[in-house]
Amino acid sequence: MSHVKQIQQALGDLPALVMTDAVSIRYASGFHIDDGAAVITPDRAWVVTDSRYVEAATAAIKDMEVLCVSREKKLGAVLGELFAQNGLKRAAAMPDRLSHDQWKWLEEATGVPLVEEKTILTALRASKDQDEVDSIVKAQRIAEKALDEVLGLIRPGMTEKEVAAELVYRMYKYGGEGNSFDPIVVTGAKSSMPHGVPGDVVIRDGDFLTMDFGTLYNGYCSDMTRTVAVGRATDEMRHVYDVVLRAQLAGIEAAAPGAVGIDIHNAAAKVIADAGYGEYFGHGFGHGLGLEIHETPGAAGQDVLPEGAVISAEPGIYLPGKFGVRIEDMLWLHDGGAENLTKAPKELIVL
């Protein structure tokens, strides 16, 4: 899905915006290119790629001209020629997407000085349009289908790695394009590690099992976490789970366009603190997501969340050496409130 027109409208008095990172090029063009560039002016736009992608890019990209590099004319030469032919004497680039060396190379290649542009794509990407949300929802439905099947397979004696592999396999099987991030599957005492890595730890009767995972669709990420009990759950486990669920619901209630991230976080954190577990909730309530698994806006700092933002809702309690609980959904902020894009059940499941 192309966003060229939105970028052009946001350029203001900038004569051109040049991008060389894959995420920004995909946002602009709707097409994934590992190595290349995009140049957008108020009335024209180009994608520069190589022979690996040029045929597919030409067929897929409708709002941009596709140029191809070669062994004789590499990316820098193509960009320099493009700038010269179109009389571009100045251009903007995003300093957070370029290293110092890349910035210097780009100035030398184009022959023009670059100015820093930090807000255009950040603001546009923070507010998702319907096509973007549809892709996120599609990715989420694939992940949910995988989870539903895997819940029927989990049993004592399986390892964390085996559960992670089953999730990944099924997400691919049902149309996912890859992992949004390396899945987190941790059990027993390891579930107190928010970003624990799946290993050879064996699931035991009476353990919590936390699964944090997602897939991609049209390049857009899904993200969800479910914590389940295997065999049985103690009263303490049930109590902690209930506190986390109530905290998540409180944060969701506070989430809306125009809300400040820290206020949403605090609504959830208060529930956890009031239950006596405040010191065991160390991360933020949530983060923005889209083409990247973590992007603006955040749902724990000073960001004002715009209309159309998609954020995670993922409070947790982590008791070192015992267990942890996290429950994560995705929210789309629009029409004055928060629409939950996640449909998987989140009451405590005892397998």
245-293 residue pLDDT tens = 999 999 999 999 999 999 999 999 999 999 999 999 999 999 999 999 9
Q: Mean pLDDT, the chain, as a whole number?
A: 97
| DSSP designation for 15 | S
Do 1 and 131 meet the contact criterion of CB atoms below 8 Å apart? yes
Q: What are the tens digits of pLDDT across the range 27-37?
A: 999 999 989 99
State the pairing for strand pair 114-116/91-93. Answer: parallel
3-state class (DSSP) for residue 277:
coil
Q: What are the tens digits of pLDDT across the range 297-341?
A: 999 999 999 999 999 999 999 999 999 999 999 999 999 999 999
State the pairing for strand pair 184-187/208-213. Answer: antiparallel
Task: Go through the domains of the chain in sequence order and give each one's CATH number.
Answer: 4-125 (3.40.350.10), 127-340 (3.90.230.10)
Q: What are the tens digits of pLDDT across the range 88-119?
A: 999 999 999 999 999 999 999 999 999 999 99
User: pLDDT value at position 1?
Assistant: 85
Instruction: For residue 204, count other CB atoms closer than 10 A to its CB.
Output: 13
